[in-house]
Structure 1
Amino acid sequence: MNRKKEEILSHCAQSLNQVHSLENLTEEQWRTPIAEGKWTIAEVVGHLIPWDKYFIGRIPKIINEEDELPYFAIEEVNGEASVHSKNSSKEKIIHEFLDVRKLLIAQISDLDDKLWEREFHVGDETFSLYEDLSRLVKHDEDHFAQIDRVL
């Protein structure tokens, strides 16, 4: 397996374990803000779900080098995820994350190893699949570090 693909898949598999371990949190811990005036752990985990869905929709378009990638209104999507997380149970949010992340893992697993070395041209952008998915990894790592600090 391509080393870059393996790295992304390893991170995604580890993220399943990290989020699954949050099932052991009390409701009070789950609803604890990661810092004063910031999101709760529930909201942080809940907002990772639409990011995964975004990449699930983006990857096929990148591979086909479509000029129009899906638009992601960050503030709007994050706001909706925050509201959803506030109104959903810990179990629901965690299971939604796990289900969607498993879909992303399956999609990445099915990608041909040769795609990881190819440069893609979408609109005016040129990038590799690895560079694109590394953004997801960085985003996850930043948020998991915030959760770890508060716990």
Structure 2
Amino acid sequence: MNIQKTISEYEQFCKWTNILHQLNDSDWYRPVKEGKASIAEIIAHLRNWDLHLIHVVIPSIRRGEGMEFPDFNSYNAKAFEYANSGVTKDQLLQEFTSDRMKLIHLLSNMKSEELLLETTANGVKHCPNTGEPYSLLYIIQEFIEHDGHHKKQILGVLD
């Protein structure tokens, strides 16, 4: 795992989201597919997970504890609620960018030993899909894939 490449790739999605400032409100709030989240909700959802990494996961890693993740559905529901609370598109995009860049800065200033330290995620030592041991860098790579999934969804609306 190349640490700087991974962190740079994580930052790239943040830069890509700048194109979303051009969206009209109809596209911003339209679900990416029937029964799915809107672009606004997706951005709020991604921001919420970045905040979780900043405020919960990284401090936990630094204390030598495992990573803890909340119930996804209820955590995502809070993000969706925020996206529909009246926050403007530009404000939400600015908050997402600001928080993602805070996270990038934190990751960039961590020692490689901290990023690569084998740890647990909700008590589990290895990813059930790959068998790889969990580390903060591994989780960031999973978040990059997660960003890519949502980017495809968003691009489907923009086409």
TM class by shorter chain equals 0.7 to 0.9
1:146 matches 2:153? yes
* Residue aligned with 2:119, SS: strand
Amino acid at match of 2:50: D
Correspondence for 1:20 among 18, 21, 26: 18
Query: What TM-score comes out, normalization by structure 1 length?
Result: 0.86
Q: Which has the higher contact order (CA 8 A, sep 6+)?
A: 1
Q: Residues 35-114 of structure 1 correspond to what in structure 2 (within 5 A)?
A: 35-56=33-54, 57-67=56-66, 69-87=67-85, 88-114=87-113
Q: 1: distance between equivalents of 2:10 and 2:139?
A: 14
Query: What TM-score comes out, normalization by structure 2 length?
Result: 0.82
1:58 is displaced (CA, Å) by 0.2
Amino acid at match of 1:58: V
1:51 is displaced (CA, Å) by 0.4
- Stretches of structure 1 that go unaligned for 5 or more consecutive residues are none
Q: 2: distance between equivalents of 1:104 and 1:143?
A: 19
Q: Percent identity?
A: 28
1:9 is displaced (CA, Å) by 1.6
Q: Which has the higher strand share?
A: 1
- Stretches of structure 2 that go unaligned for 5 or more consecutive residues are 126-132
1:16 is displaced (CA, Å) by 1.6
